[in-house]
Amino acid sequence: MKKKALLICGLVITLLAASFFGYRAYASSKASSSSSTQTATVTTGSLSETLSSSGTARSGQSATISWETSGKVSPVTIKAGDTVAADQVLAELDTNTLTSDMIQAKQDLIDAKQTLDDLLNSKTTEAKALQAVEDAQKALDSLKVTAANESSAAQLALAEAQATLEDAQATRLKMNYPHSSDDLTIEKAESAYLLAKKDYKKALQEYGKYANRKLTDLDRYQALTRLLSARTTMNEALATWTWYTSNYTENDIAQADGEVAVAQAALEKAQADYDSLKNGTTAAQIALAEATLADAQREYDRVKDGPTADDIAAAQFAVDAAQSTIDYAKLLAPFAGTITEVDVSTGDLVKSGDAAFRIDDLSSIYIDLAVSEVDLANLKVGQPATVEFDAIADKQYTGEVTEIGIVGTNSSGVVNYPVTIKVTDNDANIKPGMTASVTITTAQHDGVLLVPKSAVKTSNGGQMVTVLYNGQQITVPVKVVMTSNGTSEVSSDILQEGDVVITSGTTSSTTTTSSNSQNNANQGGAAGFMGPGAGGPPPGGMP
């Protein structure tokens, strides 16, 4: 019994020793692993993607106001920083120092105003128009009444021109036929030609017998002489017969046509003279008198009921034009804004083109950026932005994209596009020309799973994270949606908020999980996952 008790006691001591050393080995292993592995917890939140650039601030509207004439500047009271209204007078020239053109403009303005006043109030124009109608009617009546019978000489000239034309036409008509109309003469000439042609052929045959002999052969020489004589006779007979049967030459006909044309022109002139003189006056004089009367009547009809809207507008335009020239002596604000530069002083002698003021509409401030072509696709009008100015410490402004250029510029091989940002909460601290740093939010995702960028690994073309569960390292496939500032948005059917992922350090052999069922994923989750060594369910509810 005593030996049995001692044996049991020894076994207990052995078991306790084994447990102690085993626990130390396990604890040592856990401490070593814990010290070499860094982890992070999966969270749900918001992630934004941004684009940063720098540019220069400018006002929404800016203008340089310059003189448009010469002279001496009257007292200037406007200072840089003053706010002015549209069309407010900023400065003007001493009227005693204006140019001759400006003085003439003053006279033109007086005349234009007088013309406008006469147009609106005077009846002289209507009376003159009526008098013009009466004078034109009298002139026309006088032409008709005093018309004399002066057509006799013109009628005689017309008859002579008619006779000359008929003679020329008769001469030309003869040329439509051959030179001779005597059939016997033509037949005789034709017979002479045929006989001569027969003799020529006979002489040609005779010459052919000796054609191969030497040029000095007498028989050949005689035969050639007879051949040439026969050819000459034949050609003369042909020419005679052809002349009898041929028409007149083109020159003959052209000369005859010319004489007909001259006679025709003379007849037409005689006819025109007769037509214009047969009533004692020319038709043109009558037509001119009638046209003059019609114009006078039309003008009277136009003004008899007072000036038209067009007449008044034209007169008013003349007044405005003269006034505009006089206004060159004044400088007006083109729009409401703030005077940002003053380049003129009292008593200055200025000339056309000299700058005097700069005005800016500081109610709106814009930033002009140059954005690389590779970033252009991510930009859209209306995207929010934050703006910081080098000259304004510890303050951040908001803005939005208002314009994206469509034409880029190439500088040293880099293509940039102009992008405009409007500062939506600008204040008096912002000055045109200030350097601004702009960050544009090009994408914003809310309520998404977030892990450190370092937690995402790539293996076999896919992306994954390693999750710690009960001391095990489990590989979970994910898809990276967006990465910004060291944080990645991931999508996964398994990973959930609260899961612990390895970001760096030693990893051991892993078990790869897969998405078997959405129901399993919904049953697990962050509430039950307690990290390494915990007793809760695995990531995403995996068994």
Query: Tokens standing for 279?
Result: 């009533």
Query: Tokens standing for 315?
Result: 């007169």
**Residues in CB range of 534: below 8 A, 6 or more apart:** 469, 470
Of 529, 134, 96, whose CA–CA distance to 349 is shortest?
Answer: 96
Stated length of the chain: 543
Of 417, 427, 331, whose CA–CA distance to 370 is shortest?
Answer: 417
**Residues in CB range of 304: below 8 A, 6 or more apart:** 126, 129, 130
pLDDT computed for residue 395 by the predictor = 93
Question: pLDDT > 90: what percent of the chain?
Answer: 36
CB 383 within 8 A of CB 420: no
Segments in the chain below pLDDT 70: 1-35, 103, 119, 122, 146-153, 174, 177-181, 277-283, 305-306, 505-543
pLDDT computed for residue 245 by the predictor = 76
Of 72, 105, 107, 116, whose CA–CA distance to 91 is shortest?
Answer: 72
pLDDT computed for residue 69 by the predictor = 85
CB atoms within 10 A of CB 319: 19
User: Do β-strands 487-491 and 435-452 pair in parallel, antiparallel, or remain unpaired?
Assistant: antiparallel
CB atoms within 10 A of CB 171: 13
CB 522 within 8 A of CB 540: no
d(CA 128, CA 130): 5
- Angle between helix 100-121 and helix 309-326 axes, rounded to 10 deg: 160
d(CA 33, CA 533): 12
pLDDT computed for residue 122 by the predictor = 65
Amino acid at 425: D
DSSP result, 261-283? HHHHHHHHHHHHHHHHHTTSS-H
- Kind and range of the H or E run holding 390: none
d(CA 337, CA 340): 9
In angstroms, what is the C-alpha Rg of the chain? 58
CB 117 within 8 A of CB 123: no
Domains and CATH numbers, the chain: 36-48+446-541 (2.40.420.20), 51-60+362-444 (2.40.30.170)
Amino acid at 356: A
- Kind and range of the H or E run holding 355: strand 355-360
pLDDT computed for residue 416 by the predictor = 93
- Kind and range of the H or E run holding 515: none
0.75 exceeded by pTM: no
| Phi, psi (rounded to 5 degrees) for 243 | -65, -40
DSSP state of 98: -
User: Do β-strands 397-404 and 384-389 pair in parallel, antiparallel, or remain unpaired?
Assistant: antiparallel
Of 315, 301, 322, whose CA–CA distance to 117 is shortest?
Answer: 315
Query: Tokens standing for 343?
Result: 């380049």
Q: Is residue 194 classed exposed, middle or buried when 0-12, 13-18 and 19+ CB atoms within 10 A define those classes?
A: middle
Query: Tokens standing for 504?
Result: 């760096």
Distance of CA 209 to the CA centre of its chain: 92
d(CA 74, CA 346): 6
d(CA 472, CA 508): 8
pLDDT computed for residue 249 by the predictor = 75
